[in-house]
Amino acid sequence: MEITTKQFQDKIQNQDYQSFTQTVKMTKSLAQSKIAAAVQTSCEQLSEACDSGYLAQGILDFQGLNFPVTCSIQMSLINLPWVDSAKVSHFLDADEKRTLHAYLVTDCEWINVSHLRIDEVAQDPSNLMDCQQSIVEMITANLKQAMDNQEQAAQASEDQK
């Protein structure tokens, strides 16, 4: 699906897109089956939206961990989250037509210093169904990284006492 930078920014600003949200109950064991089921549903919804010509995002809201984590699969022109869509014009010409890509956007205070990680998952969002396993692996790695970072910070805090 191709779109100009201006069209992309207008669609985000005007909320002219489809958004699908799922709550995923998670424990520290990071059950692959739960992540895989949520990813499959998101990929199906996003592929259908893309095939119908819609800009879309799938949001996975992970609950049950010691901290909030949201992983979104977003269709975008470059690796910036939708909340920063106004900045896309800093990198691309407003009238430049480009192909949408799909990105995994992980939003969590423990993922890294910026609290945000963005990974490209597909160069063509209509092929998301073929990328499910790699998305599951990315989400699992990101959740594990956030848990490790949070545990290290808690341990450092304990050591200072």
On whether the CB atoms of residues 68 and 146 are closer than 8 A, the answer is no
How confident is the model over 12-61, as pLDDT tens digits?
999 999 999 999 999 989 899 999 999 999 999 999 999 999 999 999 99
In the prediction, which pLDDT does 106 show?
98
Helices (H), the chain: 5-13, 32-51, 132-160
On whether the CB atoms of residues 125 and 102 are closer than 8 A, the answer is yes
Per cent of the chain over pLDDT 90 is 90
In the prediction, which pLDDT does 161 show?
66
On whether the CB atoms of residues 133 and 43 are closer than 8 A, the answer is no
Instruction: Provide φ and ψ at 107, rounded to 5°.
Output: -115, 110
Return the SS3 of 104. Answer: strand
- What is the token pair recorded at 143? 């959740």
Domain ranges of the chain: 2-160
In the prediction, which pLDDT does 160 show?
78
Mean predicted lDDT score pLDDT of the chain:
95
On whether the CB atoms of residues 50 and 99 are closer than 8 A, the answer is no
